[in-house]
Structure 1
Amino acid sequence: MTTTIRPNGAAEIARAVARGDVSAEDLARAALADIDARDGDINAFTDITRERALAEARAIDRARAEGQQLGPLAGVPYAVKNLYAVAGLPTRAGSKINAAGPRATDDALLIERMRAAGAVLLGALNMGEYAYDFTGENAHYGPSHNPLDTTRMTGGSSGGSAAAVAAGFVPIALGSDTNGSIRVPAAFCGLYGLKPTYGRLPRTGTFPFCDSLDHLGPFARSVADLGLVYDVLQGHDASDPVCARRPVEHVTREIAKGHDGLRIAVATGYFRADAEPGALAALDRAAQALDVSDAIDIPRAAEARASAFLITNAEGSALHLERLRRRPADFDPDTRDRFLAGALLPASWYVAAQRFRRVFEDLMAETFSRYDVILAPATPTSAPLIGQKTISIGGKDVPLRAHMGIYTQPISFVGLPVAAVPVREAAAMPYGIQVIAPPWREDLCLRVAAALEAAGLAKSA
Structure 2
Amino acid sequence: MSRDTASLSALAIADGVRSGALCATDIVEASLARIAARPELGAFTDVVAERARARAARIDAEVEAGVDHGPLAGVPFAVKNLFDVAGLPTRAGSRIERDAAPAAADPPLVARLEAAGAILVGALNMGEYAYDFTGENVHDGPSRNPHALDHMTGGSSGGSGAAVAGGLVPIALGSDTNGSIRVPSALCGTFGLKPTYGRLPRNGSFPFVASLDHLGPFARSVADLAEAYDAMQGHDAGDPVCVERPLEPTAPLLGGGAAGLRIAIGGGYFARGGDPAAFAAVARAAEALGARDTLSIAHVEAARAAAYVITMQEGAALHLERLRTRAADFDPAVRVRLMAGAMLPGAWAAKAQKLRRLFAAEFARVFETHDALLLPATPCRAPRIGQETMVLDGVEMLVRPNLGLFTQPISFVGLPTVVVPVFEAGERLPLGVQIVAAPWREDVCLRIAAALEAAGVASAPVGEARP
Give the alignment's TM-score, normalised by structure 1.
Answer: 0.98
Measured in 1, the distance between the counterparts of 2:232 and 2:5 equals: 28
Measured in 2, the distance between the counterparts of 1:442 and 1:316 equals: 28
User: Are 1:5 and 1:22, in contact at CA under 8 Å, matched by a contact in 2?
Assistant: no
Letter in 2 for 1:430: P
Q: What does residue 446 of structure 2 align with?
A: 446
User: Are 2:267 and 2:294, in contact at CA under 8 Å, matched by a contact in 1?
Assistant: yes
Deviation at 1:280, TM superposition (A): 1.1
User: Are 2:174 and 2:216, in contact at CA under 8 Å, matched by a contact in 1?
Assistant: yes
Deviation at 1:122, TM superposition (A): 0.6
Q: What does residue 436 of structure 1 align with?
A: 436
Q: What does residue 56 of structure 1 align with?
A: 55
Please tell me whether residue 137 in structure 1 is matched to residue 121 in structure 2. Answer: no
Deviation at 1:6, TM superposition (A): 7.1
Measured in 1, the distance between the counterparts of 2:345 and 2:323 equals: 18
Measured in 2, the distance between the counterparts of 1:244 and 1:458 equals: 31
Structure 1 outlier segments of 4+, above 2 Å: 4-7, 458-461
Measured in 2, the distance between the counterparts of 1:356 and 1:344 equals: 21
Measured in 1, the distance between the counterparts of 2:401 and 2:217 equals: 24
Please tell me whether residue 35 in structure 1 is matched to residue 35 in structure 2. Answer: yes
Say if 1:349 and 1:7 are closer, same or farther in 2 by CA, change over 3 A.
Answer: closer
Please tell me whether residue 15 in structure 1 is matched to residue 15 in structure 2. Answer: yes
Measured in 1, the distance between the counterparts of 2:267 and 2:363 equals: 14
Measured in 2, the distance between the counterparts of 1:349 and 1:154 equals: 33
Please tell me whether residue 368 in structure 1 is matched to residue 367 in structure 2. Answer: yes
User: Are 2:6 and 2:168, in contact at CA under 8 Å, matched by a contact in 1?
Assistant: no
Q: What does residue 377 of structure 1 align with?
A: 376
Q: What does residue 102 of structure 1 align with?
A: 101
Please tell me whether residue 175 in structure 1 is matched to residue 174 in structure 2. Answer: yes
Report the aligned-residue RMSD.
1.3
Q: What does residue 227 of structure 2 align with?
A: 228
Measured in 1, the distance between the counterparts of 2:65 and 2:203 equals: 33
After superposition, residues 87-126 of structure 1 pair within 5 angstroms as 87-126=86-125
Deviation at 1:255, TM superposition (A): 1.1
Please tell me whether residue 213 in structure 1 is matched to residue 212 in structure 2. Answer: yes
Letter in 2 for 1:154: T
User: Are 1:24 and 1:60, in contact at CA under 8 Å, matched by a contact in 2?
Assistant: yes
Letter in 2 for 1:456: G
DSSP 3-state at the match of 2:152: coil
Letter in 2 for 1:72: P
Letter in 1 for 2:97: N
User: Are 2:420 and 2:459, in contact at CA under 8 Å, matched by a contact in 1?
Assistant: no
DSSP 3-state at the match of 1:254: helix
Letter in 1 for 2:454: A
Q: Structure 2: state its 5+ residue gaps.
A: 462-467
Say if 1:13 and 1:345 are closer, same or farther in 2 by CA, change over 3 A.
Answer: same
Q: What does residue 354 of structure 1 align with?
A: 353
User: Are 1:87 and 1:105, in contact at CA under 8 Å, matched by a contact in 2?
Assistant: yes
Measured in 1, the distance between the counterparts of 2:251 and 2:458 equals: 21
Q: Structure 1: state its 5+ residue gaps.
A: none
User: Are 2:421 and 2:459, in contact at CA under 8 Å, matched by a contact in 1?
Assistant: no
Measured in 2, the distance between the counterparts of 1:46 and 1:204 equals: 21
Letter in 1 for 2:20: G
User: Are 1:236 and 1:246, in contact at CA under 8 Å, matched by a contact in 2?
Assistant: yes
**Which shifted more, 418-427 or 200-209?**
418-427
After superposition, residues 59-74 of structure 1 pair within 5 angstroms as 59-74=58-73
Report % sequence identity: 58
**Which shifted more, 422-431 or 368-377?**
422-431
Measured in 2, the distance between the counterparts of 1:393 and 1:347 equals: 34
After superposition, residues 268-307 of structure 1 pair within 5 angstroms as 268-307=267-306
Deviation at 1:7, TM superposition (A): 6.7
Measured in 2, the distance between the counterparts of 1:62 and 1:7 equals: 25
Deviation at 1:394, TM superposition (A): 2.8
Structure with more contact order per residue of length (Cα contacts < 8 Å, sep ≥ 6): 2
Deviation at 1:109, TM superposition (A): 1.1
Letter in 2 for 1:155: G
- Provide, for residues 251-300 of structure 1, a one-character-per-residue CA deviation record: whole Å limited to 9, x for no partner: 00111111111111000110011011110111111111111110000111
Deviation at 1:114, TM superposition (A): 1.1
After superposition, residues 253-272 of structure 1 pair within 5 angstroms as 253-272=252-271
Deviation at 1:393, TM superposition (A): 2.6
Measured in 1, the distance between the counterparts of 2:139 and 2:7 equals: 34
Q: What does residue 248 of structure 1 align with?
A: 247
DSSP 3-state at the match of 2:379: coil
Deviation at 1:169, TM superposition (A): 0.5
- Provide, for residues 298-350 of structure 1, a one-character-per-residue CA deviation record: whole Å limited to 9, x for no partner: 11111111111110000000000000010011000000000001001000000
Letter in 2 for 1:46: T
Q: What does residue 404 of structure 1 align with?
A: 403
Measured in 1, the distance between the counterparts of 2:454 and 2:320 equals: 48
User: Are 1:425 and 1:460, in contact at CA under 8 Å, matched by a contact in 2?
Assistant: no
DSSP 3-state at the match of 1:173: strand
User: Are 2:134 and 2:155, in contact at CA under 8 Å, matched by a contact in 1?
Assistant: yes
Say if 1:277 and 1:5 are closer, same or farther in 2 by CA, change over 3 A.
Answer: closer
Letter in 2 for 1:457: V
**Which shifted more, 420-429 or 208-217?**
420-429
**Which shifted more, 424-433 or 10-19?**
424-433
Letter in 1 for 2:438: P
Measured in 2, the distance between the counterparts of 1:303 and 1:56 equals: 49
User: How many residues are matched?
Assistant: 458
Q: What does residue 464 of structure 2 align with?
A: none
Letter in 1 for 2:22: V
**Which shifted more, 129-138 or 298-307?**
298-307
Deviation at 1:184, TM superposition (A): 0.3
Letter in 1 for 2:72: L
Measured in 1, the distance between the counterparts of 2:334 and 2:175 equals: 18
Deviation at 1:426, TM superposition (A): 1.8
Letter in 2 for 1:452: L
Say if 1:56 and 1:460 are closer, same or farther in 2 by CA, change over 3 A.
Answer: closer
Measured in 2, the distance between the counterparts of 1:222 and 1:317 equals: 37
Q: What does residue 26 of structure 1 align with?
A: 26
User: Are 2:7 and 2:167, in contact at CA under 8 Å, matched by a contact in 1?
Assistant: no
Letter in 2 for 1:31: S
Letter in 2 for 1:19: S
